[in-house]
Amino acid sequence: MRGMIGMAALLLAALPGAGGATPARDAAAPVLAQPAPDPMLRTRALMREFPWISRFWAELAGAEQARAQRAFRRRGVTEGFAERWDAMGLQDRVLLLFGPGRGQG
C-alpha cells in the first residue's frame, strides 16, 4: 500500500503546475512554426459560417452588400461592385472580406 501511495505522489509531483519539478525548456531550442492552413479548407470553413459568400451580388442582403462594398473600398475599388463580385472566385471573395489567413501572404 505504501508503495502505491509513493508512486501516486511521484506521478502527481511530475504534473505541470502541481508544484513538482518540471523540466526547464531549453531557451536555445527553436520554436516550431505551425504550418500555414490550407487556403481551400479556410474558404470552406468560412463559407459554412457565412454562406452568403457563394451568392451572386443580386442575391445578397443589404448588409452583406454593404460589407462587401466596404471591403472593396478598402482596396481602392469605388465602383462596379456587382460585376467584380460576380466575376470573383470563392477564394478571392474570402481574401477580399477576411484578408489573408494566419501564415498566408
pLDDT, tens digit, 9 for 90 and up, residues 8-29? 666 666 666 555 555 556 566 6
> Taking 60 as the threshold, does the pLDDT of residue 43 lie above it?
yes
Q: Under a CB-based contact definition with an 8 Å cutoff, are residues 93 and 53 in contact?
A: yes
The reported pLDDT for the residue numbered 70 is 96
Who wins on pLDDT, 56 or 1? 56
pLDDT, tens digit, 9 for 90 and up, residues 49-100? 999 999 999 999 999 999 999 999 999 999 999 999 999 999 999 999 998 8
Task: Tell me the HSE value of 103 on the side-chain side, using a 13 A CA sphere.
Answer: 9
CA distance 36 to 75: 24
